[in-house]
Amino acid sequence: METISLAISSVADLMVRYKPCPTNPAGFAFLVHPRNISDIYRKYPLLRYLPKSFIKFMLAHFFWPVTVSYIQGVHNLNGQRNIPGWIISLPITAEQMIADRKLAKKFINKAVLLAQKRGARVIGLGALISPITNGGIDLKREHEVGFTTGNALTVGMTLKGITRVLALKNMRNEKLIFAVVGATGSIGQAVCQLLLRDRYTRHILAVGKTAAHLNELANKLSSAYKEVSISTFTDIKSVKNADIIIMATSSTEVLLSKDNLKNGVIIYDITQPQNVSLSLQEERKDVIVIDGGVVKLPENIKYNFNIGTPEGTTFACLAETMIVAAEGMEDFSLGKVRIEHVDKIMELAKRYNFQLAPLRSWGKIINEYDHKWNY
C-alpha cells in the first residue's frame, strides 16, 4: 500500500516540477532520508531480495527525492491560517550520505527545489541533512527560502527529558557527571551550555572527534560558567565515569560498548541513526537507554507517514519546523544552536501545545514503577 502511494506521489512530484503549486505560497517542508537499508525495505519490500550493494547503486542512480507525506492540521495560534506541509525524502541512506557528501548535497538541493515548487516558505532539515549542510548555512547561500535545523527544540526537549528522568529517579544533584558525546556539534554544544547554565551539573565529560573543536568548546564553557570542570576526550571509553550520557553525534555507527559504562548509567540518545544498539541493552540490563528528541503533537496534526516514532508523536526537529512555519518565521535555528533560540522555541512549543512525549526506552513507555528503575 505504501509502495503504491509512493508511486502516486512520485508522479504528482513530476507534475509539480513542471507546474508549481501557486495556491500554497506559505507552506513548509521537512526533508528526511532513510536511516538505513531496513527503512528502504519497509517502503519497497521487493528490494529485500536483491543484493545490498546493488540496491545502494540503484538508489544513488535511479531514484530521486519524493514527497512521502502531506501534513495536515498545522495552524497559526488563532487557528485562522492553515499551513500546509510536506515530508520529502531523499532516496539514499545515512551511510551513503556520509560516504558521498557530494551525492548527498545533489539530492538535498533537488529536494529543496521540489519543496519550493510545492509551496514551502520554510524547510526543516531532518537527521543528517543538517550536519551535511553545515546546519543549513550552505543551503542558505544557494536558495531563497527559509531553513531551520530543528535543533533548538531538540536541545530544549532533551533538557526537559533529562529533568523528567532525574525527577523519576529522584537523583538531581549538581555532583552528577554528564558525558556529552558529540559535544562540539550544533546540538551537543548547546546541551553542554544548558546543563551548566541551569545547574544540572558542574562536571561535563565532553567527547568528540576533533581535539581542536573540543579545546575551543572547553575554553568557551570555562569562561562563560564559573567553578565548572570540563574534561575533553576523543576516546569514547572516557564515558565510563559518567552517571548520564547524552548521545548527539553525526556518526552513523554504534559507538557505545557494554564494557565502558558505569553500573546503572542513564543513556539519553537523540541520534538518528542511533549510536546505541539494542544488543548493548540486552547485555547490560542495569543500563537504561532513553529514546530522546521525541515530541507529542497537538491532536489536530496528522501526517500519514511512519517517521520512526510512536503514534501521535514526532521528532523534535519536525515539530520545530511546524512551529516556525505556523509563526510565519523564515529562518530559525541555522548553524550551531543558540541558547536564545532554545528559550524562544520552548516558549512557543508551550503555546502551541507541543509537549515532551512520554519517556520511552526502545519504544516502550517507562515510568517510576518500571522494574528497570529498581536495579
Q: Please give the residue ranges that form the binding site for ligand NAP (CB under 6 A).
A: 127-128, 130-131, 150-151, 154, 181-182, 184-188, 207-210, 213, 248-251, 255, 270-272, 293, 315-317
Q: Which three cell numbers stand for residue 171?
A: 537523583
- Would the CA dihedral through 342, 276, 130, 81 be positive or negative? negative
Closest approach of ligand NAP to the CB of residue 246, in Å: 10
**Cβ-closest position to ligand NAP:** 185
Nearer to ligand NAP, 16 or 359 (CB): 359
Nearer to ligand NAP, 35 or 202 (CB): 35
SS3 content of the chain, % helix, strand, coil (to 5): 45, 20, 40
Closest approach of ligand NAP to the CB of residue 184, in Å: 4
Closest approach of ligand NAP to the CB of residue 121, in Å: 21
Helix (H) or strand (E) holding 178: strand 177-181
Contact 359, 168 (CB under 8 A): yes
Nearer to ligand NAP, 16 or 326 (CB): 326
Closest approach of ligand NAP to the CB of residue 123, in Å: 14
Closest approach of ligand NAP to the CB of residue 158, in Å: 8
SS (H, E, C) 308-323: CCCCCEEEHHHHHHHH
DSSP per position, 101-165: HHHHHHHHHHHHHHHHHHTEEEEEE-TTHHHHTTTTHHHHHH-SSEEE-SHHHHHHHHHHHHHHH
Closest approach of ligand NAP to the CB of residue 269, in Å: 9
Q: What is the CA radius of gyration of the chain?
A: 20
Count CB atoms within 10 A of the CB of residue 68.
22
Nearer to ligand NAP, 30 or 86 (CB): 30
- Residue type at 18? Y
Contact 287, 219 (CB under 8 A): no
- Residue type at 27? G
Nearer to ligand NAP, 16 or 323 (CB): 323
Query: CA separation (Å) from 253 to 6, 35, 362?
Result: 29, 11, 17
- Residue type at 3? T
Nearer to ligand NAP, 186 or 193 (CB): 186
Closest approach of ligand NAP to the CB of residue 261, in Å: 16
Nearer to ligand NAP, 186 or 201 (CB): 186
Closest approach of ligand NAP to the CB of residue 195, in Å: 15
DSSP per position, 262-277: -TT-EEEE--SS-SS-
Closest approach of ligand NAP to the CB of residue 326, in Å: 18
Nearer to ligand NAP, 16 or 303 (CB): 303
Instruction: Write down the residue that cell numbers 541512506 correspond to.
Output: 93
Strand 266-269 to strand 288-291: parallel, antiparallel, or no bridges (unpaired)? parallel
Nearer to ligand NAP, 67 or 184 (CB): 184
